[in-house]
């Protein structure tokens, strides 16, 4: 059987004028039966990428430029990457046109929400203070808090559970959920941690980092496997 070809969006290194990826994004995709490939951040080729690849993983990384969700940049010391924003917004537009599967992780869920018309907390410690440790210390292959899964929604159906433990390394999150998206996981302090697009075959986003735990945690492994199956069947 031909392995599904999976495009993975890279991080940027301005000092080295380069793109890069952690291997822990690639390994769970390969273990689940996919062929992961790092994408170049070339906006002009976004449409061709959307046609050629079977599925797409939007990875973690820098903050989304607030103008994408209609806000001014507040003085919170945001780490921005405008070129990456432009590429991923263009790529996501083409992916959704093509109806290809998407798994959006951390920054990825924020890109997805902003693209579809939602908004973000720019800095959780000031805009949504909480005792829940959303920005944990290393190592990340352990759980920081729990999220509750929305009954009847795809993630709860996939895992057959009401809650799961997750790691957490983010200072931004969904503030206003984009109208086309539906919630499927939430932390105890009220943050939306998992979403999906009902009208799509598989467009899921999670705020945590399952790539750090996928090789030993059943729920994380199941998430990657579901994504790869969707790409295989698409």
Active-site residue list = 106, 209, 211
- In whole angstroms, give the CA distance from residue 22 to residue 20: 7
- Asked if residue 72 lies in contact with residue 25, where contact means CB atoms within 8 angstroms, the answer is no
Q: At what angle do helices 218-233 and 23-31 cross, to 10 degrees?
A: 70
């Amino acid at each position: 059987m031909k392995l599904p070809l999976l495009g993975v969006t890279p991080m940027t290194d301005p000092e080295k004028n380069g793109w890069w990826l952690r291997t822990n994004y690639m390994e769970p995709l390969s273990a689940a039966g996919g062929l992961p490939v790092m994408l170049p951040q070339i906006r002009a080729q976004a449409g061709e990428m959307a046609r050629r690849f079977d599925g797409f993983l939007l990875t973690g990384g820098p903050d989304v430029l607030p103008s994408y969700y209609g806000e001014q940049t507040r003085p919170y010391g945001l780490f921005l990457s405008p070129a990456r924003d432009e590429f991923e917004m263009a790529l996501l537009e083409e992916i959704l046109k093509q109806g290809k599967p998407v798994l959006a992780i951390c920054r990825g869920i924020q890109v997805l929400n902003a693209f579809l018309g939602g908004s973000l907390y720019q800095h959780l410690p000031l805009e949504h203070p909480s005792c829940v440790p959303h920005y944990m210390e290393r190592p990340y292959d352990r759980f920081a808090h729990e999220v509750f899964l929305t009954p009847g929604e795809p993630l709860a159906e996939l895992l057959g559970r009401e809650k799961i433990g997750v790691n957490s390394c983010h200072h931004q999150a969904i503030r206003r959920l984009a109208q086309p998206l539906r919630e499927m996981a939430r932390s105890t302090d009220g943050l939306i941690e998992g979403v999906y697009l009902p009208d799509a075959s598989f467009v899921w986003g999670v705020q945590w980092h399952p790539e750090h735990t996928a090789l030993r945690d059943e729920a994380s492994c199941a998430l990657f496997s579901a994504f790869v199956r969707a790409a295989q069947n698409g």
